Structure 1
Amino acid sequence: MFLPKSSPLTIFNPEEADHEGALFFDTGISAGYPAPTEDFSHQHQHLSLDTELVRNRETTFYARVSGQSMIGAGLDDNDLLVIDRSLEPSNNKIAVCFLDGEFTVKRLKVDKDEMWLKPENPDYPIIKITSDNKFLIWGIVTNVIKKV
């Protein structure tokens, strides 16, 4: 895989977990009023984030967001993206694109034979893709992992 030396995107391949995954309590955690306490000791199972977030292992990669152009879509600086290269790009999908020598993540806007890369921050311009651009849709973002 070719990556430019100045790429702001760090790409990782998912690795197969050699354990059962973290404990998962499938009881629902209230985000409203606190729920009555329950005995959680018998209501857990194991959960693998690979199983939950990765549909196509051979075509899925992780990349870290760099910058603020997609904050309106909930993608913040240093978030970890899950990107599937096997998914078809279409209007309104969030895509990782290779544009004129650099990677960028933007929302795809497609209308007939025209395409734009739309940031989700009004401080950044919409980019119209033309035949003058060196352009490739590298993959579609399927999930974002955040630190709190």
Structure 2
Amino acid sequence: MKFTSLYGSGVSCGFPSPADDHKEEALSLDEHLITNGPATFMARANGDSMQGVGIFDRDILIIDRSLTPVNGDVVVVALDGQLTCKILDRGRGRLLSANEKYKPIPIWEGQELIVEGVVKASIRYHRAAVRA
């Protein structure tokens, strides 16, 4: 991965700040997004069920198979052979959407549930032409 520069201060999303316009350090996206390369894969999100956690249609998900999923993690699972991205609710035995329009998905005894990995990050393009 090529390195790019990281500015020393945050970028204001309100009123512009005249201070801190210098670059601080080199930044590798691989270092931030990929901890275990061989166990990491990417997939494109489809739909609006995960908007409440900041995952939108066509975002790219960074998924790590080496992470042990814990309650509340955003995970990609194969449920009866169908891939889906949801919030893991082990305590109640279900998968949750992050959009009120969608009901929880119960996990019944005997159903095949394979956790493919934990969603570590997502990438969203803000320029429409890039998303095509």
Shorter chain as denominator, the TM-score bin is 0.7 to 0.9
Judge conservation of contact 2:75–2:116 (CA < 8 Å) in 1.
yes
Equivalent residue number for residue 116 of structure 1 = 94
**Structure 1 stretches of 4+ moved >6 Å:** none
**CA apart distance, 1:129:** 0.7
Query: SS of the residue aligned with 1:24?
Result: strand
- C-alpha distance in 2, partners of 1:134/1:38? 53
| 1:68–1:48 distance in 2 versus 1, CA, 3 Å | same
Aligned to 1:60: 40
Instruction: Please identify, of 25-34 and 50-59, the stretch whose mean Cα deviation from structure 2 is larger.
Output: 25-34
Deviations, residues 70-120 of structure 1 (Å, cap 9, x unaligned): 111111100111111111111111100001111000001111xx5101111
Instruction: Give, in whole Å, the separation in 1 of the partners of 2:20 and 2:54.
Output: 33
| Aligned-partner residue type, residue 48 of structure 1 | S
The answer to whether residue 78 in structure 2 is matched with residue 78 in structure 1 is no
In 2, the alpha carbon distance for the partners of 1:47 and 1:75 equals 23
Structure 1 CA distance for aligned equivalents of residues 57 and 114 of structure 2: 23
Structure 1 residue aligned with 2:86: 106
DSSP-derived class of the 1:95 partner: strand
Fraction of identical pairs, as percent: 37
Question: 1:110, 1:132 → 2: CA distance?
Answer: 15
Q: Over alpha carbons, which structure has the higher Rg?
A: 1
CA contact (8 A) 2:8 2:20 kept: no
**Where do 5+ consecutive residues of structure 2 fail to align?**
127-132
Structure 2 equivalent of residue 50 of structure 1? 30
Q: Give the equivalent residue in structure 2 for 1:6.
A: none
How does the TM-score come out when normalised to structure 2? 0.85
Partner of 1:88 in structure 2? 68
Shift of 1:34: 1.4
Aligned to 1:138: 116
Question: Once the 2 structures are TM-superposed, how far is the Cα of residue 37 of structure 1 from its aligned partner?
Answer: 4.9
Q: Please tell me the root mean square deviation across aligned C-alpha atoms, in Å.
A: 1.7
- Partners of 2:61 and 2:21 in 1: how far apart? 35
- In 1: Cα distance, 2:21 partner to 2:50 partner: 41
Aligned length: 126
Q: Which amino acid aligns with 2:78?
A: F
